[in-house]
Amino acid sequence: MLLADLKAMAGGMGIAGAGGMKKADLVAAIKAAQAQPKSQVPQADDKPPADQKAKADQKAKADQEAKADQPKADRPKADRPKDDAKPTSEDKPKADDKQKGQGQQKGQGQQKQQGQPKQQEGQDKQGQPKQQDGQDKQGQNKQGAEKQDQGQQGQAGDDGEGGSRRNRRRRGRDRNRPVVAGGRNEPDTTILEDDVLVPAAGILDVLDNYAFVRTSGYLPGPDDVYLSLSMVRKYGLRRGDAIVGQVRQPREGERREKFNPMVRIDTVNGVDPDQARHRVDFAKLTPLYPSERLRLETEPTNLIGRVIDIASPIGKGQRGLIVSPAKAGKTMVLQQIANSITTNNPECHLMVVLVDERPEEVTDFERSVKGEVISSTFDRPAGDHTMVAELAIERAKRLVELGHDVVVLLDGITRLGRAYNLAAPASGRILSGGVDSAALYPPKKFFGAARNIENGGSLTILATALIDSGSKMDEVIFEEFKGTGNMEIRLRRDFADKRIFPAIDVIQSGTRREELLLSKEEMAIIWKLRRVLSALDSQQALEVLLEKLKKSPTNIDFLMQVQKTTPAPGQED
């Protein structure tokens, strides 16, 4: 019970000096007065009712003045009234006058149980103790709202825990507010006059809840730039876009972030950002069979390119597999294909993706290939292998959307499948060899992106696949890709052991719908040559082909000799 209520009660009972007593003394005096016999208690019948009411009003006003004069430090923290204490104390004399004649002792006991003295005094006017109980319970929320200055509901004022409860209720007060620039989730992209802007460029990598511009390659680095998702949506940016923009340096006194935010985008893939919003989606482009040839023949000594042109021609938009066992020379074949493409088709954008590769092989590719080499060595985690492959193929898709011809050489698809088997979350369906069924979809999505686009643009993918390694997992991965390509080059380990290079099985190698890439005359001669070679052993066929190619300066001269010297049973025009 509050000190002011005790003083008012003592004044109503006629206790002298109640205005200057402390709380403990007031409680003792009230208990002593209540314990006295009725004969010693002042009787209200000696005076008229009007005089009795006037006397009670005078005593209540005197007690109120004494209460205002008392220092605040003398009152406990829980008993200090809030801003609404004054109007409540002004209403108390009326309640005290009614309370004295209507079961005062029982009313005070209920006040101690409920902890709501001001509410109870307002309800004592009805003169019904049972109704008073109900009114006390109904008014608790209203009184709690008055006593708490920060919107808390309840009875925290009496138990001393109001501060902690209020903090817990206000813990998530601003979680549902709309995000503004410079808020919790978005960086401040406003540019002031004295801000220092630094140019930055890189490949956009859009993740689930944030986006970064990879400035040091296709892997995360310390100099990457943060890009807000609002800017990604504003300009319709996609993963793999080449972004050039401005980065704001931290202002004076501002906390330095781990990644500086990009505040302005200048170009997207070399064009204005507004133009990038109206480009077509790669998935909506119409795929066709390859119809434009990529010739790999460069010089007479380049036997790898010359053999591939005859045995398995390659076109723009080809999806080819270089199937090879270990130590059969597939890396050498891949390097020669890359050099031939840069020499004969400089309009094509060449990307060499090396996944789980030896570091010295990466250096060799970077020094020998005039193209973009994207690598992740075998000492890196499997997550880096998958990240590099995904970002590289997304970059290739963005270039195809702009109408460019892109050639991607992947080494190799088997190691990429192994990396996804380690990095991807388990689906619970395990195939033979320990391959998770969900781990085969991302590599197939990578390989399936190759296509010749109608009305411009193409994406050519040549990937190496490992066989005869003794691993059941490698066999399962190869079987998944066996029928997905439209071109295949087979390498033989026994040819390489005998130092017959290139170790290409010309009989097993071939291209689907090669008639779209060859002229009628050339196709007729090559079919005639295939009939002759298929009658021989694989090794003998390769040796004969290499011997004839070494004697002729170009493939055209070789095919002319074949036409003149090779018999054509059942000649077909």
Whether the ω angle into residue 502 lies within 30 degrees of 0, i.e. cis, is yes
| DSSP H helical ranges for 70-139 | 85-99, 104-114, 117-123, 129-138
How many whole angstroms separate alpha carbon 263 and alpha carbon 234? Answer: 13
191-225 in b/e burial notation, b at 16+ Cβ within 10 A? eeeeeeeeebebbbbbeeeebbbbbeebbeeeebb
How many whole angstroms separate alpha carbon 100 and alpha carbon 572? Answer: 127
| DSSP H helical ranges for 411-537 | 413-423, 441-447, 472-481, 493-497, 520-534
Q: Confirm whether residue 403 is marked as ligand binding.
A: no
Cα angle, residue 495 at apex, residues 490 and 500 outer, rounded to 5°: 110
How many whole angstroms separate alpha carbon 187 and alpha carbon 405? Answer: 37
Residues in the chain: 573
Q: Confirm whether residue 157 is marked as ligand binding.
A: no
- Position of tokens 């040091």? 216
Q: Confirm whether residue 234 is marked as ligand binding.
A: no
Phi/psi at 376 (5° precision): -145, 110
- Position of tokens 């409920």? 114
Q: Confirm whether residue 315 is marked as ligand binding.
A: yes
From the CB of residue 370, how many other CB atoms can be counted at a distance below 10 Å?
Answer: 12
Q: Confirm whether residue 12 is marked as ligand binding.
A: no
- Residue 414's Cβ-side half-sphere holds a number of Cα atoms within 13 Å equal to 22
Amino acid, single-letter form, for residue 547:
E
> Do 214 and 205 meet the contact criterion of CB atoms below 8 Å apart?
yes
Q: Confirm whether residue 140 is marked as ligand binding.
A: no
Q: Confirm whether residue 317 is marked as ligand binding.
A: yes
Q: Confirm whether residue 472 is marked as ligand binding.
A: no
Q: Confirm whether residue 106 is marked as ligand binding.
A: no
Q: Confirm whether residue 445 is marked as ligand binding.
A: no
Q: Confirm whether residue 318 is marked as ligand binding.
A: yes
Radius of gyration, CA atoms only, the chain: 45
- Position of tokens 């979680």? 175
149, β-bridge pairs: none
> Do 411 and 355 meet the contact criterion of CB atoms below 8 Å apart?
yes
How many whole angstroms separate alpha carbon 139 and alpha carbon 222? Answer: 61
The maximal CA–CA distance of the chain, rounded, in angstroms, is 150
How many whole angstroms separate alpha carbon 365 and alpha carbon 368? Answer: 5
In angstroms, how far is the first alpha carbon of the chain from the final one?
115
- Position of tokens 């997905």? 484
Q: Confirm whether residue 331 is marked as ligand binding.
A: yes
Q: Confirm whether residue 330 is marked as ligand binding.
A: yes
What single string gives the DSSP state of each residue in 201-247? EEEEEE-SS-EEEESSSSS--TT-EEE-HHHHHHHT--TT-EEEEEE
Q: Judge residue 527's burial from the number of C-beta atoms within 10 Å of its C-beta, 0-12 exposed, 13-18 middle, 19 or more buried.
A: middle
C-alpha distances in angstroms, 483 versus 87, 434, 486?
Answer: 89, 22, 8
How many whole angstroms separate alpha carbon 545 and alpha carbon 565? Answer: 14
Can you say which residues are annotated as belonging to the binding site? 315-320, 327-332, 358
User: Which positions make up the binding site for ATP?
Assistant: 315-320, 327-332, 358
